Structure 1
């Protein structure tokens, strides 16, 4: 593909957008053609001045998310558009259609089931026709979840160990702040959930598994609960205590199930997936903590949909474009471990570990490397187009890129 740019960072004036641009300025190969995009030339120029010296020559592209014509023109100039402009339900629909129509690969950071469903319904067929890869959720939501399960699938296949059965991600260790963009997305989802049809979509564990206009019908009870504490011993005999629900399970689990569906249900007929958090190995204390997380998650979502409490939360929670200082970002980390027992009774565990605040520094790495994989490694990627997931679109290529970027990513059999 002959385009003026390899990657355009759209939303570079936002907090995570600037972090992603900075990462690309530091780590992308010298000959990578990169531009910064957004709606304000003045703000874009200010961001460019704060970036490393090599970014001084990066062009600025002006495009408003409300202008389809400007977005069409922008997407026609680049191989990949990398967008951090959320909430995506509010600002992302025109851009994803523009990218699909232009045959431009696309990566974002969405954690919004309705937006990803929109992408499938409205952009999948267009992208298949133009050859575009539309890849949602290329940050902490949902790269560790998606690649962790994909690694288990590949390892079990290599070892002739059968297909995946009960599979559980455990957020084993985490230090970081909740981003203002994530909070704003939660606000939008809380508002959307007031609509009965949208509520049914959000509660459907297979909401993202079908193709355009074809949502797989599945009762919530057909998959593990996203909000119920879990006995750690049932996940794997090596664990103890009670595991709390992971606060992003209701999105990440849908992405992982979509990967399985796109791979023709290769994970296996017994594959069931859930996400949890480690809150201590002592039975009584961890049970109390897990219960508190479960109740608190429900109360928090309810509070966001109730106007008086939402106003209070709006004053307390971070705003879009806000984030922690560099010292705090550098002090963060995450470790996810994903466990499975295969159809032949063999146990495997994958792990992803990275330094840096998961929602900021680590996410900038995951998003930046996803964009570079699509732009620079096209001959190594699977021959797929349409609305995809990180594992299905980039799989092994992204895993190797993240390893070279300092992530520890591994998988092995448990005995």
Structure 2
């Protein structure tokens, strides 16, 4: 692995690519407020839209340079990547538009962070660019928003706590969404539609999505732990006594999130443990109808990636684009401000110690909260080099910058606390 010789001479610390899109604007707004002395530029396809975006950001951003770059013109991405330490991108669906930027950053030795929840895109990036990025010193870090930082960082925090306590490695570990309020944007719908289409059209894609170790560096090195289902409903007490009386069902983003967490374990040389098992669920409450709600949530998740994908494959793309939310749209400001989430991750270690990690943020999870997480990821990669891991290549948030993000969270309004339960 080598680092780019001219890294210290690069013009920018962070470039926000896709700055005129919905989440791109929110991320730029966050960096204008929290970026401090970081050297930031805005990038996108339209110079006029970039200028309008910058004008709306306030005084702190008025000196930020603007860069015209387009995924359909790789030379513009290469030039952009060569000018900065870090590119953060909100341009999706990533399976359709993302690989040229990954290629540019891998070639230039430039760190990269995105918001993808698309395992097939990440797998392609690993296969095509992991070795090159490792050789040039680039950190290609996927899933730096609500997907999948709460999943990845709560597990990482539990690992760090158990390591400090000397209570062994992580075993059965369960992520539970306890509270969630927010909206849905066209970008998220477009990404899920693209993923479903790919799975419908390609048997190999379906096989990869069904493999719990889709994103592993070495499939043959993974332990065989039996079924680790992504869609199930059960009593909360089957996860932890603290959830007695609650029911849980499938969480819609379990497929990408669980693969990210398992890749983190492998990249960290199985620091979580060789018997580490991980699943994700969402709480549906404790009322008399909660069991039915849990079953419906699980059934809906299965249908979306099964029957739903077959349905989407038969519907013309143009028709879907007319009836589904448009890319670049999102929830209202009121919805974004009133949104919030709380997630809890429970684990039992190899010595029988039980721990809980609880993470929460104010703001719509997919948009306002995500813009904070992505912005802090970009700043950590650019400015906190002494806290980053030594790993290079196609990475995960925990494997690349777990300690740096844990240190940054309190000042960013992100609460993440661990506690021992017994």
Q: Tell me the TM-score range normalised by the shorter chain.
A: over 0.9
Post-superposition offset of 1:215: 7.4
Question: What is the CA–CA distance in structure 2 between the aligned matches of 1:41 and 1:313, rounded to whole Å?
Answer: 29
Listed one character per residue, the Cα deviations across residues 352-403 of structure 1 (whole Å, up to 9, x for unaligned) are 1100000000000000000000111112212221111100100111112122
Post-superposition offset of 1:338: 0.1
Question: What is the CA–CA distance in structure 1 between the aligned matches of 2:251 and 2:228, rounded to whole Å?
Answer: 12
Question: What is the CA–CA distance in structure 2 between the aligned matches of 1:112 and 1:84, rounded to whole Å?
Answer: 13
- In the alignment, which residue of structure 2 is the partner of 1:281? 286
- In the alignment, which residue of structure 2 is the partner of 1:231? 235
Does structure 2 conserve the Cα–Cα contact (< 8 Å) formed by 1:133 and 1:388? Answer: yes
Pairing 1:222–2:229 present: no
Determine helix, strand or coil for the equivalent of 2:366.
Answer: coil
Determine helix, strand or coil for the equivalent of 2:357.
Answer: strand
Partner of residue 147 from structure 1, selected from 149, 153, 163: 153
Listed one character per residue, the Cα deviations across residues 135-170 of structure 1 (whole Å, up to 9, x for unaligned) are 000000000000000111111111111111110000
Question: What is the CA–CA distance in structure 2 between the aligned matches of 1:106 and 1:122, rounded to whole Å?
Answer: 15
Residues paired across the two proteins, number: 410
Determine helix, strand or coil for the equivalent of 1:251.
Answer: helix
Post-superposition offset of 1:310: 8.0
TM-score normalised by length of structure 2: 0.93
- In the alignment, which residue of structure 2 is the partner of 1:290? 294
Pairing 1:347–2:337 present: no
Partner of residue 171 from structure 2, selected from 165, 168, 187: 165
Pairing 1:189–2:191 present: no
Post-superposition offset of 1:36: 0.6
Query: Which piece of structure 1 moves more, 139-148 or 340-349?
Result: 340-349
Partner of residue 13 from structure 2, selected from 6, 22, 25: 6
Pairing 1:403–2:407 present: no
- In the alignment, which residue of structure 1 is the partner of 2:419? 412
Unaligned runs of 5+ in 2: 1-6
Pairing 1:378–2:385 present: yes
Flag the 1:165–1:263 CA change in 2: closer, same or farther, 3 A.
same
Post-superposition offset of 1:91: 0.5
Query: Which piece of structure 1 moves more, 231-240 or 334-343?
Result: 231-240
Pairing 1:175–2:172 present: no
TM-score normalised by length of structure 1: 0.95
Flag the 1:311–1:222 CA change in 2: closer, same or farther, 3 A.
farther
- In the alignment, which residue of structure 1 is the partner of 2:83? 77
Partner of residue 45 from structure 1, selected from 48, 51, 74: 51
Determine helix, strand or coil for the equivalent of 1:165.
Answer: strand
Pairing 1:244–2:246 present: no
Unaligned runs of 5+ in 1: none
Question: What is the CA–CA distance in structure 1 between the aligned matches of 2:32 and 2:366, rounded to whole Å?
Answer: 19
- In the alignment, which residue of structure 2 is the partner of 1:127? 133
- In the alignment, which residue of structure 2 is the partner of 1:319? 326
- In the alignment, which residue of structure 1 is the partner of 2:29? 22
CA RMSD of aligned residues (A): 1.8
Pairing 1:391–2:398 present: yes
Question: What is the CA–CA distance in structure 1 between the aligned matches of 2:81 and 2:19, rounded to whole Å?
Answer: 15
Post-superposition offset of 1:315: 5.0
Does structure 2 conserve the Cα–Cα contact (< 8 Å) formed by 1:204 and 1:217? Answer: no
Please list every run of at least 4 consecutive aligned residues from structure 1 whose deviation after the TM superposition is greater than 4 angstroms.
214-219, 308-316
Question: What is the CA–CA distance in structure 1 between the aligned matches of 2:400 and 2:67, rounded to whole Å?
Answer: 27
- In the alignment, which residue of structure 2 is the partner of 1:204? 211
Flag the 1:35–1:342 CA change in 2: closer, same or farther, 3 A.
same
Determine helix, strand or coil for the equivalent of 1:6.
Answer: strand
Does structure 1 conserve the Cα–Cα contact (< 8 Å) formed by 2:184 and 2:331? Answer: no
Question: What is the CA–CA distance in structure 2 between the aligned matches of 1:19 and 1:156, rounded to whole Å?
Answer: 36
- In the alignment, which residue of structure 1 is the partner of 2:72? 66
Flag the 1:67–1:310 CA change in 2: closer, same or farther, 3 A.
closer
Question: What is the CA–CA distance in structure 1 between the aligned matches of 2:382 and 2:101, rounded to whole Å?
Answer: 18
Does structure 1 conserve the Cα–Cα contact (< 8 Å) formed by 2:223 and 2:274? Answer: no
Query: Which piece of structure 1 moves more, 5-14 or 299-308?
Result: 299-308
